[in-house]
Amino acid sequence: MLVQFKVQNFTSFNTCQSFSLFSSTSTKENFSENNSFQINKFGINNILKSAAIFGANASGKSNFIDAMSVLRSIILKSLSSTESDNLKNIIPFFLKDKPFDIPTEFEISFIQDDCLYRYGIAITNGLIDEEWLYYIKNSRETVLFHREKQTIQINRRSFSEAKDFIRKKGEIYSVEKTREDVPFVAVLAQFNGQKSRKVIDWFKKLNVASGLGETGYKRFTFDLFEKDRKFKAWALEILSSLQIDDIRIIEEDQDEKRFPLPEDSEDNDLNNAVSSLKQFLQKTKLKVKKLEIIKKVDNSSKEFIIPFELESTGTKKLICLLGPLYDVIQNSEILLIDEFDSKFHSLLSNFIIDLYHKNNKSNSQLIITCHDTNLLSKEIFRRDQVWFIEKNQKHESEIYSLVEFKEHYTRKDNNYSKDYLSGKYGAIPLFKSMMELEMVLNG
């Protein structure tokens, strides 16, 4: 369960920015119990099930999702990759004289196996400046390790898994068997360190998807329709509102023409290789899975088959998105969706979020970025679930919560979109005049 995330000096974020899923203690936020989990531990009352991040184009919303995705990649790729450039592709904030004046820093707090962990890493020029791991088992936070470059301090009592990976020289302890560009927690996890493994296991539950296209999770959903009857029944109940009666997955032979091969050439070796490949394709029929949509007219028994490719882009996205949504709910995982509302009607976006809140009885969480101001409604999100990202005069992205605007607590209607569009919360492109808008539109 995600609790808090901080980022510094990464892409459009310069100064440290903090995002959290702490539930507000204000009684005005308790109107929707479906939207939060009860914790009552670690000094935390409740944690939110979801959050929506709003902001203008190029404000930094996608960069925020990327920040969590990059941290995930740093940790998980270190388990399998022996390459030394895992950290070199991290982009700092470049709109300043010295982009590396402060490290690129990520810190994330999460609950895993009834403990609250806080893990962080600071990076400069592809090398680790600092790395730390703290945890709370009951009420007091305890350091497990704190690394500064290749020197380290560990808690020998609570973090004994690290004792074989450090070396004492005088009064200083240094890390062993760990390169300057590899997270210490990833090294320990490879040797089945108990607490390090829990950190890795949590990052494996962090999933990222793009709302701009369904290609990243299309195959995953198709497989669920084919193999998981419970998912199919759940999905068809939802899709019935779109007049979809059934979904079928079929296999077809892959068209050989989709593999263009070169014609005869003067290179005999190339000709022989092409000839062998052609023979292979003729003997081995490659299969491809396709989805068919079944519809019936006026409740008749006659079925009409519509290829998936002929459906609207919004319907295709919804069908494919149901797979990841179902999966994270069933497995208590976290799903980040950038441009969630792309291709969706406002009512459909509303429906999906409401569906998620009502179906989510596990510890799953959903974080989305979006533009649709119709989602700025008390009927969908509490104020503590709404966040904004805006660039300041220095072109730095800043993130902040709707809860910070206390002057709007007493709003009588059910939505905050009017105040948002009028610029009271920032995070929108404001044009001083129609002439200025026209100049922007015309380039």
Q: Which residue has the higher pLDDT, 263 or 383?
A: 383
Res 123 pLDDT > 60: yes
Residue 121 has a pLDDT of 98
- Ranges 225-229, 406-410, 425-429, most confident: 225-229
**Domains observed in the chain:** 1-205+331-443 (3.40.50), 209-330 (no CATH)
Res 44 pLDDT > 80: yes
Mean pLDDT of the chain: 88
Res 82 pLDDT > 60: no
And the tokens for 47?
A: 């944690």
Q: Which residue has the higher pLDDT, 287 or 176?
A: 176
Q: At 215, is the pLDDT very low, low, confident or very high (cuts 50, 70, 90)?
A: confident
The mean pLDDT value for 95-120 works out to 96
Residue 416 has a pLDDT of 80
Residue 305 has a pLDDT of 92
Q: At 301, is the pLDDT very low, low, confident or very high (cuts 50, 70, 90)?
A: confident
Tens-digit pLDDT profile for residues 319-364: 999 999 999 999 999 999 999 999 999 999 999 999 999 889 888 9
pTM above 0.85, yes or no: yes
Residue 265 has a pLDDT of 65
Res 302 pLDDT > 60: yes
Percent over 70 (pLDDT), the chain: 86
